[in-house]
Amino acid sequence: MDLLQHLASGFQVSLLPINLLYCFLGVLLGTLIGVLPGIGPTAAIALLLPITFHVPAVSTIILLAGIYYGAMYGGSTTSILVNIPGEAASVVTCIDGYQMARQGRAGPALGISAFGSFIGGTLALVGLMFAAPAMARFAREFGAPEYTGLVCLGLSLLIYLGGGSIIKSLISALIGLALSFVGQDMFTGQDRFTLGMRELKDGIGLVPMFMGLFGISEVLINLEKTIAREVFATKIRQLLPSREDWGRAFPAMLRGTGIGFLLGVIPGGSAVIASFASYALEKKLSSQPERFGSGAIEGVAGPETANNAAATGAFIPLFALGIPSNATTAILLGALMLHGVRPGPMLMEQQAGLFWGIVASMYVGNVILLILNLPLIGLWVKILKVPYKTLFPLILLFCVIGAYSVEGSVFDVGVMLAFGVVGYVLRKMGFEGAPLVLAFILGPMLENSLRQSLIISHGSFLIFVQRPIAAACLLATVILFLTALVPFVRRKRELLADEA
């Protein structure tokens, strides 16, 4: 009953005209970003952060969250029509989606991916409503040692599940941690690593750093390649899938929701992994696995449902623990912090309106997306024809203005450019950006809780063993890294990374 009351109050917030407008803008922009190859939701959210400074916190997150899950809807359009994924979580949709388009079934492919996205997003929201408050109640008993353990486990899971080399991801995380130390020490006020620069006293700016690492570096990477976009020349008709299509796709959607939701909650278990896992499961369960790769509708429905469910599931650790599970939610955490909101176990009590307002807005957003997506497919196809060479100078100009406008500082534009080059080099060398960003965001929490724990225990590290939750988290962290050394697990991880 409480839940329904909370949800009703959430709808009162989300249905305010201003919040409806932000929700609409968010999902519209998200779909556009999902449609356009060359700019992902993480970069887009980083680019839009400065604009949200004058907007209330709840409207900001409604807008930015809308971009995140909206991009999951939009990504499938390019995968199906152009065989180029609009964003990483739609890579797997190319396999069967494009084949369906080639067989003249682009309409049902687009339709089923929109319905799948809606079902995955909406069912995962129901899960979010139950799981986030339960997790927050559990986390209320947490003290400094538990947070130390949780941060370590969160980072390790991200590194472990994120694919790629564990050593490189660990190095990435430690670089992020080192960067989080720049500025004044929170206990003593002493300057650290500021190089005598006044501008660095408050630390490295979140916005210019994120815009550089994700916005500028993405443009630089895209400048290297020529993206050929040949939109499939077919008349898109009959968007509503047939009864037979539904019969094949619906069970895949339900399984996709389950996998996506669970993988979304786990740090590192991103929408990308969820979509691959769903595809692999559908192929394994199918009585005709040979159909996969030549236009099986389950190969579109499952992954498209899973990536939306994962995007929604990722909000649970963010809201309940204040621990983001991927780069995009790390930026959302940054956005909340910039507005003076500290997500964590007390958020749902102290800022119930904000939390339930955002949850309700996601229901609204999913409905808007379903309504928007199907009739606007023709428009998205037209937008797909805008060449990247016209877009990139404008994206760069937008980055420059965004970085400058936060503090009115040219120094921040320089910081953004420097991180753009660093991000480009790291990506070229195979270093993951997500552990760096997560460690940068969680660095102060880790340092604070570690130092507090040692003060409480009078310098004894045994406190992390004596407190069961902290001990369990740290033990899980150690086990994760040890299992990564087992040859079989290592090979499996490398295989998954190659596929992703």
Partner 1 sequence: MRRWDRIASVVVLAFGGIVAFAALKMDLGSLNQPGPGFLPSGGACLLAVLSLVYVVLSFRRAPDGEESPWPKRHGARLIAVVASLALYCAALSSAGYIPATFVLMVILFLVADPGKWHAALVKAALSTAITYLVFEKLLMVQFPAGLLGA
Q: Which residues bind partner 1 (CB under 8 A)?
A: 167-168, 170-171, 174-175, 177-178, 181, 185, 187-188, 190, 192-193, 216, 219-220, 223-225, 389-390, 392-394, 396-397, 400-401, 404-405, 408, 410, 413-414, 417, 420-421, 428-430, 446-447, 450-451, 454-455, 458-461
Q: What is the DSSP string of 374-429?
A: TTTHHHHHHHHTS-HHHHHHHHHHHHHHHHHHHHT-HHHHHHHHHHHHHHHHHHHT
CB-nearer residue toward partner 1: 103 or 460:
460
CB-nearer residue toward partner 1: 181 or 232:
181
Residue 348 in contact with residue 10, Cβ under 8 Å?
no
Burial class (CB in 10 A: 0-12, 13-18, 19+), 394: exposed
Please report, for residues 57, 72, 73, 377, 384, the alpha-carbon distance to residue 380 in angstroms, rounded to integers and kept in the order given. 30, 14, 12, 5, 6
Helix (H) / strand (E) containing 19: helix 17-35
Minimum CB distance to partner 1, residue 428 (Å): 4
| Rounded CA separation 207/335 (Å) | 9
Closest CA to 208 of 425, 410, 429: 410
| Rounded CA separation 500/22 (Å) | 32
Minimum CB distance to partner 1, residue 118 (Å): 34
Minimum CB distance to partner 1, residue 460 (Å): 8
CB atoms near residue 378 (< 10 Å): 8
Residue 458 in tokens: 């009078």
Minimum CB distance to partner 1, residue 405 (Å): 5
CB-nearer residue toward partner 1: 247 or 387:
387
CB-nearer residue toward partner 1: 400 or 469:
400
CB-nearer residue toward partner 1: 285 or 425:
425
Minimum CB distance to partner 1, residue 300 (Å): 33
What backbone phi and psi angles, to 5 degrees, belong to 230?
-110, 105
CB-nearer residue toward partner 1: 130 or 187:
187
| Rounded CA separation 213/424 (Å) | 7
Minimum CB distance to partner 1, residue 413 (Å): 5
CB-nearer residue toward partner 1: 138 or 461:
461
Residue 69 in contact with residue 311, Cβ under 8 Å?
yes
Closest CA to 416 of 176, 205, 199, 194: 205
Please report, for residues 145, 218, 443, the alpha-carbon distance to residue 461 in angstroms, rounded to integers and kept in the order given. 10, 42, 19
CB-nearer residue toward partner 1: 138 or 193:
193
| Rounded CA separation 257/142 (Å) | 30
CB-nearer residue toward partner 1: 138 or 187:
187
Minimum CB distance to partner 1, residue 400 (Å): 7
Residue 24 in tokens: 């609409």
- Residue written as token pair 């309700």: 360
Minimum CB distance to partner 1, residue 447 (Å): 5
Which residues make Cβ contacts (< 8 Å) with residue 399, sequence separation at least 6? 47, 211, 212, 215, 216, 219, 416, 420
Minimum CB distance to partner 1, residue 175 (Å): 7
Torsion, Cα 198 201 206 212, to 10 degrees, reads: 40
Q: Report the chain's C-alpha Rg in angstroms.
A: 22
Minimum CB distance to partner 1, residue 167 (Å): 5
CB-nearer residue toward partner 1: 11 or 404:
404
CB-nearer residue toward partner 1: 387 or 468:
387
Q: From the centroid of its chain, how far is CA 215? A: 15
Minimum CB distance to partner 1, residue 171 (Å): 5
CB-nearer residue toward partner 1: 130 or 461:
461
Minimum CB distance to partner 1, residue 26 (Å): 19
Measured between its terminal Cα atoms, the distance across the chain in Å is: 42
